[in-house]
Amino acid sequence: MIEVRGLSRWFGSTCAVRNLSLAVPAGSVLGFIGPNGAGKTTTMRILATLDEPDLGDALVDGFSVVDDADRVRSRIGYVPDAYGAYANVSCVEYLDFFARSYGLVGRPRMDAVNRVIEFTRMGHMLHKPMNGLSKGMKQRLCLGRALIHDPKVLILDEPAAGLDPRARIELKEMIGQLAAAGKSLLISSHILTELAEMCDRLAIIERGELLAEGPVEQILRGQAFAHQEPAEVSRVTLQVTLLGEAGPACEWLRSARQLEAGVIAEQILELMVADEPAEHAQLLRELVQAGFAVTRFTTKSRTLEEAFLKVTRGNVQ
């Protein structure tokens, strides 16, 4: 549904986006991650037809953002990171205005407004002035505005910024419902933990360049680098919990298997092994046969924050 092909954008001597290529399949949620100034918002503005690339192109539902901007606009809903609140305009008037702007009239317009109100659960706020809403309710209303014409693609720039915990949970639920309905979503955020929970794919950029892209699990394991893959990405950390003290098992692993192992708690040890399920199964079997009472044996997942720090270099432009 979204295909970015060799996208580049300069602002004077600064290259905000450099030869960027990525794709978002139908029904997929792609998290767009990068430090400030990495080129995320520039890329999103180009996809929303608010800016044009200097090189390359981007397609939304098969239509070019450069050559078929009108068709693209009818297929996307865009929620920017900052938007104004109109004084003396109620929530229902705001939604009705944008429904009219998309050419909806009569019963289809009323149905679209009611559909959005039901989805965003704003029925109790319909006649409240927009500029009197909380941050969370404004964000929900802006999402409703982006959905009013039932677009196939949603582009959300920092949708969870400034939201309280309940509002973030509700936003995550709505994003899941939209993806389940077949919509494609591109979401940027600095709240990495929640982004990993909302998305099934991630793309990490820095200084306008794509550093890693792929399914969330591959990013966390370090297996989705855009360029050359580091040698250590094929290794994972196993965490083993025992019924007794972990020290003897740790010594056994070091001597009998020559593995990197260390005790992290009285009954818990960690070790580095190859990322091979068959190897993990064999290791568990040998631990049990050696007389160690294993109560828990699991792969320790790298957090998205750790993956982000591993991939990026901290460069700014």
CATH class, range 2-221: alpha beta
Token pair for residue 178? 């939209």
Q: What residues are paired with 298 via a beta bridge?
A: 239
d(CA 178, CA 238): 35
pLDDT digits (tens, 9 = 90+) for 88-133: 899 999 999 999 999 999 999 999 999 999 999 998 888 999 888 8
Reduced to 3 states (helix: H, G, I; strand: E, B; else coil), residue 262 is strand
d(CA 211, CA 93): 43
d(CA 274, CA 235): 4
d(CA 186, CA 297): 35
Whether the CB-CB separation of 230 and 212 falls below 8 Å is answered with no
Residue 51 vs residues 2, 8, 16, 46, 82: alpha-carbon distances, Å: 16, 12, 12, 5, 16
How far is CA 316 from its chain centroid? 21
Whether the CB-CB separation of 132 and 91 falls below 8 Å is answered with no
Nearest to 272 by CA among 232, 235, 306: 235
Query: What is the structure's pLDDT at 233?
Result: 45
d(CA 262, CA 42): 45
pLDDT digits (tens, 9 = 90+) for 169-187: 888 999 999 999 999 999 9
Nearest to 219 by CA among 245, 201, 206: 201
pLDDT digits (tens, 9 = 90+) for 282-298: 999 999 999 999 999 99
pLDDT digits (tens, 9 = 90+) for 63-94: 999 999 999 999 999 999 887 778 889 999 99
Longest Cα–Cα distance of the chain, Å, equals 78
Nearest to 49 by CA among 61, 64, 37: 64
pLDDT digits (tens, 9 = 90+) for 50-64: 999 999 999 999 999
Query: Helix crossing, 135-147 with 91-101: angle to 10°?
Result: 30
Amino acid identity of 4?
Answer: V
Residue at token pair 């037809």: 49
Nearest to 7 by CA among 62, 45, 35: 45
Residue 217 vs residues 63, 126, 200, 221, 298: alpha-carbon distances, Å: 30, 41, 8, 6, 15
Reduced to 3 states (helix: H, G, I; strand: E, B; else coil), residue 224 is coil
Residue 82: count other Cβ atoms within 10 Å of its Cβ: 7
Token pair for residue 39? 């080129």
Q: Hey, do 2-221 and 232-301 end up sharing a CATH topology, with the first three levels equal? A: no
d(CA 23, CA 1): 8
pLDDT digits (tens, 9 = 90+) for 23-37: 999 999 999 998 888
Confidence at 315, pLDDT banded by 50, 70, 90 = low
Query: What is the structure's pLDDT at 308?
Result: 80
CATH 3.30.70.920 for the 232-301 domain, yes or no: yes
Nearest to 134 by CA among 122, 151, 146, 145: 122
d(CA 267, CA 246): 5
Domain assignments of the chain as residue spans, ordered by start? 2-221, 232-301
